[in-house]
Amino acid sequence: MQYSIIGFPRIGLNRELKWATEKYFRNEIDRHALTNTAAVLRAGQWKVQQAAGNAFIPSNDYSLYDGMLDTAYMLSAIPERYEELHFDDIGTYFSMARGYQGRLGDVRACAMKKWFNTNYHYIVSELDDGMQIKLKSDAFLDGFRQASHLGIKTKPVIVGPFTFLKLARYTGNKTAAGFTEDIVNAYIDILKACNTNQVEWLQIDEPYLVMDLTDADTVFFKRLYTQILTEKGNVKVLLQTYFGDVRDCYGEICALPFDGIGLDFVEGKQTSGLIAKYGFPSDKILFAGLINGKNIWRSSYADVLKTLEDLKAINPQVVLSTSCSLLHVPYTVKQETKLSNGIKRHFAFAYEKLEEMQEICRLSDLPDYTKDPAFIANQELHQGTLRTDAEVRARTASLNEADFHREMPRKERQGIQHKRLQLPLLPTTTIGSFPQTAAVKSNRAKFRRGEISETEYRTNAKAFIKDCIALQEKIGLDVLVHGEFERNDMVEFFGENLTGYVFTDNAWVQSYGTRGLKPPIVFGDIKREKSITTDYIAYANSLTDKDVKGMLTGPVTILNWSFPREDISVQEMMNQIGLAIRDEVMELEKAGVRIIQIDEAAFREKLPLRRADWHKDYLDFAIKAFRLCSAKVKPETQIHTHMCYSEFEEIIPEIDAMDADVITFEASRSKLTILDSLKVNHFETETGPGVYDIHSPRIPDTAEIEHAIQEMLKRIPKQQLWINPDCGLKTRGEKETVASLTHLVEAAKNIRASLA
């Protein structure tokens, strides 16, 4: 048995690529030093894979910034505004990623978008009518040639034409079809270059095949590849899919002359079913994506080996593979020194996944692997009870419908709340965080390093809260916040205060370009054993006659920004976290807090790629998990939520079904479309659509905010509209924050007066 991987992380074990790239951006090193660092890193990674017996080591999975950007560059899809800067190749490449502002002009960057259902962001290609797509050079084989010199055979990896064209943005009149001939020729040239360089296998990634496809899409895919594959020569072509199953085109891709097809068995719920039903062509190799490329747990050898046996019964030519590129997991567990071995032995990051795959291949070749110590140890690992808390399980098991419903319908509650809170029309508020000044950050850092006691730390945090309340009163906001000075991150803070979470020191995963994330890990059942926010919130409320919102992060967002467990369902995890947040909500209410905000910034993030799966696989229980947090409060307690980063138009009724009383959201790009959609859907939740963009230091003036409010009033009844910035203010400076909020309050007052 052999194994393959789809791609490897690229930031470097100690984020060497990040540090080098950032130095290059600051002009501290030149391009040679940067590309040299990259080449050394690559070589090191191939050697690790070679030592671990990987038969299909990928090359060109490496990137200085992003693989989709590499593809655009490779295909000469470079918008004119970057060419006009006349930079060298690397300069042009980075100007597309980051824009350019300087002596030569002011050129904006290409847009960035979430890569399917991951937290990785890719650069969106822009195709205009005048552009000619053609292969720029055979630089995509640089890695292959470098590896060959080292005596390592690799499988070059490129993004396929279908996915490239489907994800591109068309800025002129031409659409994907208009680029067919050009792109076919470019990929034919790619195959020719592979033949010249004696490439054995070329992996072409086509993740777009797991999306909902129309018949026209499938026809287009077939048309592209029927032409491209005629020039295959001696190169074997692996069609690689990931992030789901190919239910809309399985027959078509099997009929095309690919030499291998890579399918995802982890997220592809129908993959096994498709093969069982339609078989698998005997002239092709099946690359079976059984090792989860997106999560960090040890695989169950028993499950993987069983599936491999079933597959081999259908088609003997099976290669074990990952479900997607390992780009989405950190490098190695060996770098984690603080976690106990009892915890760590459950984890497999990229290096450990190589070891696992090597071991599974060895086991699969044995006459009876069930006797092998490695197999037995793996089975024992998966049978442990270390991660289960009986009390938590009993609580989630006893949940019933009443746990998800507030006692009074929203319309009636809203009347009671308005009477109680006595807020003016168009109430003003903010999203939660205030600028994280040097003093705020240094307080947290000192506490982390043990330089100050917890009492000192909390006393300092309270001093920041006091200033923040005074500031908001001075500005004249109606509903205040405590400022979130005790949090560096809205998920990490709650994770750290909940039993069941574990944190890593070095488990970085690329988010985009040089930016990384270090998601916390849901290790065991989640439980709230102590009060988390009440002390701060009650203190803030004691300082003012106005209401200060209790500020929490909701269960869907907490889970979506963590590495989830695989041994229990997403629904169970969300309910566990939901109950923990509910305990906090109830405590806040008891402490006299009359408005509680439960942030769901990442609510839409794990929405399934296929519409048919939206409800049953996600929304149905995500909505319930949110409702679970707030169902037990009194009708007069006002529940707020906040969302950002995404296009919500398509899930407006679902957001309403979360049954919050008020929602604030960020949607600077497509705000008016969303507002129209709210109107069409008779959205009932009171709404604060965000009157200015906090992602830039720009200060909006009063007239501009008034204009935004007027636009909103055309679509939202005045009794339902809130006035607020579009997200938290923690990344902003103090001065611009005060100025912007002052204008916001002034604008709200002016419009209020005009409505009276």
The residues of the shown chain that bind ligand GLN, judged by CB under 6 A, are: 431-433, 484, 490, 551, 599, 601, 642, 644, 727-728, 730
Closest to 332 (Cα-Cα) out of 504, 464, 78 = 504
Closest to 491 (Cα-Cα) out of 588, 570, 557 = 557
E strand segments, 536-602: 547-548, 550-553, 595-599
- CB-nearer residue toward ligand GLN: 372 or 467: 467
User: Closest approach of Cβ 549 to ligand GLN, in Å?
Assistant: 9
**What is the three-state SS of 470-536?**
HHHHHHCCCEECCECCCCCCCCHHHHHCCEEEECCCCCCEEEECCEEECCCEEEEEEECCCCCCHHH
Q: What is the dihedral of CA 323, 327, 329, 334, to 10 degrees?
A: 120
- The residue behind tokens 């068309």 is 170
User: Closest approach of Cβ 690 to Zn ion, in Å?
Assistant: 9
Q: Is 616 left (phi over 0), alpha (psi -120 to 50) or beta?
A: alpha
Answer with the entry of Zn ion, ligand GLN, none that 127 interacts with (C-beta below 5 to 8 A by kind). none
* Angle, CA 390 vertex, CA 384 and CA 393 arms, to 5°: 105
Closest to 550 (Cα-Cα) out of 594, 517, 519, 512 = 594
User: Closest approach of Cβ 433 to ligand GLN, in Å?
Assistant: 3
Q: Is 72 left (phi over 0), alpha (psi -120 to 50) or beta?
A: alpha
Closest to 75 (Cα-Cα) out of 140, 6, 10, 28 = 140
Answer with the entry of Zn ion, ligand GLN, none that 478 interacts with (C-beta below 5 to 8 A by kind). none
Structure tokens at 530: 């102590």
Site string for Zn ion, 673-712 (x = CB under 5 A): ----------------------------------------
Helices (H), strands (E): how many in the chain?
A: 29, 25
- CB-nearer residue toward ligand GLN: 118 or 430: 430
Active site annotation includes 405: no
User: Closest approach of Cβ 441 to ligand GLN, in Å?
Assistant: 14
CA pair distance 727, 161, nearest whole angstrom:
37
Does residue 491 touch Zn ion according to CB under 5 A? no
Among the residue ranges 156-164, 355-363, 643-651, 747-755, the one whose residues contact Zn ion (CB under 5 A): 643-651
Among the residue ranges 31-39, 305-313, 402-410, 644-652, the one whose residues contact Zn ion (CB under 5 A): 644-652
Among the residue ranges 36-44, 70-78, 537-545, 637-645, the one whose residues contact Zn ion (CB under 5 A): 637-645
What are residue 534's phi and psi, to 5 degrees? -55, -40
Residues composing the chain: 756
Measured at CB, which residue is nearest to ligand GLN? 728
Does residue 644 touch Zn ion according to CB under 5 A? yes
- CB-nearer residue toward Zn ion: 245 or 599: 599
User: Closest approach of Cβ 643 to ligand GLN, in Å?
Assistant: 7
- CB-nearer residue toward Zn ion: 605 or 666: 666
Among the residue ranges 108-116, 256-264, 662-670, 734-742, the one whose residues contact Zn ion (CB under 5 A): 662-670
Burial class (CB within 10 angstroms; exposed 0-12, middle 13-18, buried 19+) of 223:
middle
> Which ranges constitute the DSSP H helices of 76-141?
80-83, 89-98
Answer with the entry of ligand GLN, Zn ion, none that 599 interacts with (C-beta below 5 to 8 A by kind). ligand GLN
Answer with the entry of Zn ion, ligand GLN, none that 730 interacts with (C-beta below 5 to 8 A by kind). ligand GLN
Cα separation values, 255 from 45, 260, 284, 466, 668, Å: 35, 12, 10, 69, 45
- CB-nearer residue toward Zn ion: 238 or 729: 729
User: Closest approach of Cβ 414 to Zn ion, in Å?
Assistant: 23
- The residue behind tokens 């939206």 is 614
CA pair distance 712, 327, nearest whole angstrom:
41
User: Closest approach of Cβ 440 to ligand GLN, in Å?
Assistant: 13
Among the residue ranges 32-40, 214-222, 529-537, 600-608, the one whose residues contact Zn ion (CB under 5 A): 600-608
CA pair distance 259, 247, nearest whole angstrom:
20
- CB-nearer residue toward Zn ion: 357 or 663: 663
- CB-nearer residue toward ligand GLN: 70 or 726: 726
Answer with the entry of ligand GLN, Zn ion, none that 432 interacts with (C-beta below 5 to 8 A by kind). ligand GLN
Cβ proximity of 509 and 517 under 8 Å: yes
CA pair distance 175, 628, nearest whole angstrom:
45
Answer with the entry of Zn ion, ligand GLN, none that 686 interacts with (C-beta below 5 to 8 A by kind). none
Among the residue ranges 54-62, 218-226, 560-568, 598-606, the one whose residues contact Zn ion (CB under 5 A): 598-606
Count of residues near Zn ion by CB under 5 A = 4
- CB-nearer residue toward ligand GLN: 336 or 666: 666
Site string for Zn ion, 399-438 (x = CB under 5 A): ----------------------------------------
Cβ proximity of 238 and 262 under 8 Å: yes
Cβ proximity of 128 and 79 under 8 Å: yes
Q: How far apart are the two ends of the chain, measured CA to CA in Å?
A: 77
Burial class (CB within 10 angstroms; exposed 0-12, middle 13-18, buried 19+) of 210:
buried
64 by DSSP, 3-state: which?
A: coil
Structure tokens at 615: 């409800």
User: Closest approach of Cβ 431 to ligand GLN, in Å?
Assistant: 4
User: Closest approach of Cβ 142 to ligand GLN, in Å?
Assistant: 39
- CB-nearer residue toward ligand GLN: 346 or 487: 487
User: Closest approach of Cβ 364 to ligand GLN, in Å?
Assistant: 45
Does residue 97 touch Zn ion according to CB under 5 A? no
Spell out the residues 6+ positions from residue 79 whose beta carbon is closer than 8 angstroms to its own.
96, 110, 126, 128, 131, 171
Active-site residue, selected from the candidate residues 86, 346, 682, 695: 695
- CB-nearer residue toward ligand GLN: 154 or 430: 430
- CB-nearer residue toward ligand GLN: 179 or 536: 536
CA pair distance 48, 53, nearest whole angstrom:
9
User: Closest approach of Cβ 140 to ligand GLN, in Å?
Assistant: 37
- Answer for which of 72, 491, 727, 751 binds Zn ion (CB under 5 A) is 727
Neighbours of 572 (CB within 10 A): 18
Structure tokens at 529: 């054993």
User: Closest approach of Cβ 604 to ligand GLN, in Å?
Assistant: 12
Catalytic residues: 695
Binding site for Zn ion (CB under 5 A): 601, 644, 666, 727
